[in-house]
């Protein structure tokens, strides 16, 4: 048994057969996650306000991948796990419109509430509930909300020359079974690892740290991610 295996306190579940719906999947982050999950063998449904736009995004990823497009409601209802990757300004309204269809589902929120100001760059926006993920949990009282995938470069996700995503994904939530499942999903992407990062009330600083990564990437012309040591 290796040292790393000795440090693993539990086994993560087998998630290989899960269908993943991605709301806001026509944006680069959503499309990138759709591509990587499809490459890992998952059936993925990209959601959008218009089914035609969603299907075009799916077609852009290649006919050889198990990705299709649908309206957001259909993408959510047909998925085992739903990823929320919509722009911050449409976050709450979309979730409110899908409250019933998302009831009982694991909902993974990767939205970063950020603003941009010329000369100052990216900065975290205040959120009444504390974070986008906590806003999602407030709206979706009957869903199992998990925060994850905030610090993943959309450009690298979409780059066909990048075979492995060398980074850790911080996974936060109040439901142990749900966070285990999302950690396992992160691990389906080669090079990536899901690491439990605390309960959902800690999501605010995780979302906000994306602004720091954007600043690093601009300064160093990089696609910085995170690695957690000694875990």
Half-sphere exposure of 15 (CA within 13 A, CB side): 26
**pLDDT value for 218:** 94
Instruction: Match 């295996």 to its residue by tokens.
Output: 5
- Cα 123 to Cα 11, 150, 205, 223: the distances in Å are 37, 14, 12, 18
Class of the domain covering 19-220: alpha beta
H or E element, residue 38: helix 28-39
- Write the pLDDT tens digit of every residue in 140-198: 999 999 999 999 999 999 999 999 999 999 999 999 999 999 999 999 999 999 999 99
Calpha distance 187→121 (Å, rounded): 32
Say yes or no to pLDDT of 6 above 80. Answer: no
Average pLDDT over residues 15-23: 97
The pair phi, psi for residue 218, each rounded to 5°, is -70, -40
Calpha distance 178→38 (Å, rounded): 21
Q: What is the pTM of this model?
A: 0.94
- CA dihedral (107, 111, 113, 115) in degrees, to 10, reads -160
Handedness of CA 121, 127, 130, 131 (dihedral sign): negative
Average pLDDT over residues 32-54: 98
Banded pLDDT at 120 (limits 50, 70, 90)? confident
Calpha distance 35→85 (Å, rounded): 14
Say yes or no to pLDDT of 132 above 80. Answer: yes
* Domain definitions of the chain by residue range: 19-220
Task: Report the DSSP beta bridge partners of residue 201.
Answer: none
Banded pLDDT at 2 (limits 50, 70, 90)? very low
Calpha distance 122→125 (Å, rounded): 9
- Write the pLDDT tens digit of every residue in 52-108: 999 999 999 999 999 999 999 999 999 999 999 999 999 999 999 999 999 999 999
């Amino acid at each position: 048994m290796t040292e790393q295996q000795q440090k693993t306190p539990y086994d993560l579940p087998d998630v290989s057969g899960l269908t993943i719906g991605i709301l806001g999947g026509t944006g680069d982050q959503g499309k990138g996650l759709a591509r990587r999950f499809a490459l890992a063998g998952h059936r993925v449904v990209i959601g959008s306000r218009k089914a035609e736009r969603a299907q075009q995004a799916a077609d852009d990823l290649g006919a050889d991948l198990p990705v299709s497009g649908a309206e957001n409601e259909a993408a959510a209802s047909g998925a085992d796990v739903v990823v929320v990757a919509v722009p911050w300004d449409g976050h709450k309204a979309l979730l409110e419109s899908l409250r019933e269809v998302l009831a009982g589902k694991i909902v993974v929120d990767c939205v970063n509430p950020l603003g941009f100001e010329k000369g100052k760059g990216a900065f975290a926006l205040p959120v009444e509930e504390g974070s986008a993920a906590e806003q999602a949990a407030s709206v979706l009282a009957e869903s199992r909300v998990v925060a994850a995938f905030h610090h993943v470069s959309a450009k690298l996700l979409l780059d066909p020359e990048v075979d492995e995503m060398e980074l850790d994904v911080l996974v936060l939530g109040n439901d142990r079974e749900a966070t285990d499942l999302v950690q396992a999903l992160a691990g389906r992407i080669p090079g990536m690892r899901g690491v439990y990062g605390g309960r959902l009330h800690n999501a605010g600083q995780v979302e906000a740290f994306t602004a720091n990564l954007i600043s690093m990437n601009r300064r160093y012309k990089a696609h910085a991610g995170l690695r957690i040591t000694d875990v």
